[in-house]
Amino acid sequence: MAEINWKGVDLNLLVAFQALLRARSVSAAASELHISQSAMSHSLSRLRSLLDDPLFHRSGHKMEPTERALNLGNDVEQVLSVIKNNILSPEKFDAETFSGTCRLGLTDYAEFVFAPLIFDALTEQAPNVKVSFINVNRHNFVDIIEKERLDLVIGSFPELGEGFESQELYKESHVCLFDPVATGLSAPVSLEEFCGLPHALVSPDGRWVTPTDNALAKQNHQRNVQVISRNFLTIGQLIKGRNLICIVPKLMSMIPYISDGLTRAKPAIEVSDFTISMVWKSGLASNDKQQWLQSRVATAVQNNQLKENKQ
């Protein structure tokens, strides 16, 4: 394939070609573009040289296009349309007519708590939107953002590296959950009761020892972690009907599917809060769709948090 001489390619030549094809006259095309007739003639000469075709030939008072010119007409129109509408003047985002896909990465906890709320918040304004929820964790979210081309991720993440921005959505606290019948306990739970029962532990990292165990050790106490799972749903089902107690995020404990038949109590030892954030790649926030998405997600999550705090 012959190498293209890009130095000879000028966007204005395509504009001139489109005007000539429409007007079939050098003078009329020049008038349409508000340039001199000699300038239009010069553009036609450059086009003929660039494309190695006469493009137009005179027939009476009109310039008739050659077969090559006619074949190029639609292509040139499409190229100029893309440049005009997509590059030079990007179309404003309209949620009501948007039918594309929003791709959100959520941790196990965030997906279970917030996916329904986020879906409702997006479809309320964008009824034709498609929503894809993709599971991430604090170790793989950077790779998955790139691989899955995510618009944003939600969860509790470590310090971000370069190339990412974030917005804190809220701070989450913890509660104890237990089956009052199976354990014989009632709220409040004393430190002795807390340490005396076998524990179920939600451990995204698969670790048996957590900061809670370290805090207990400083007070010369320890607990017996008997079962761990990386999944909150598993823990919620494990403690029902069993002599187990667990610590879970407060919002998780307020979901009926998890908490039905269980008692919620304040932990007998201080457990640090954790931050839930929304993270996205730097530069995306200037995009109208991204701004809308971030606003809808943040509002849905934060409004839910305010509602739950009143309970």
Domain architecture of the chain: domains with CATH: 8-88 (1.10.10.10), 101-172+275-309 (3.40.190.10), 174-272 (3.40.190.10)
| Interior angle at CA 134, CA 130 and CA 139, nearest 5 | 155
How far is the C-alpha of 13 from the C-alpha of 80, rounded, in Å? 11
Predicted pLDDT at 311 = 58
Query: Do strands 101-106 and 152-155 pair parallel, antiparallel, or not at all (unpaired)?
Result: parallel
Predicted pLDDT at 292 = 94
Predicted pLDDT at 1 = 43
Sign of the Cα torsion 268, 269, 273, 274 reads: negative
Q: What does the longest C-alpha to C-alpha distance in the chain come to?
A: 105
As given in the structure block, the two tokens for residue 81 are 């349309």
pLDDT along the chain (311 residues), means of 10: 61 91 91 91 91 90 90 86 68 86 91 93 96 90 86 86 87 93 94 95 86 92 92 85 94 83 92 91 80 94 73 58
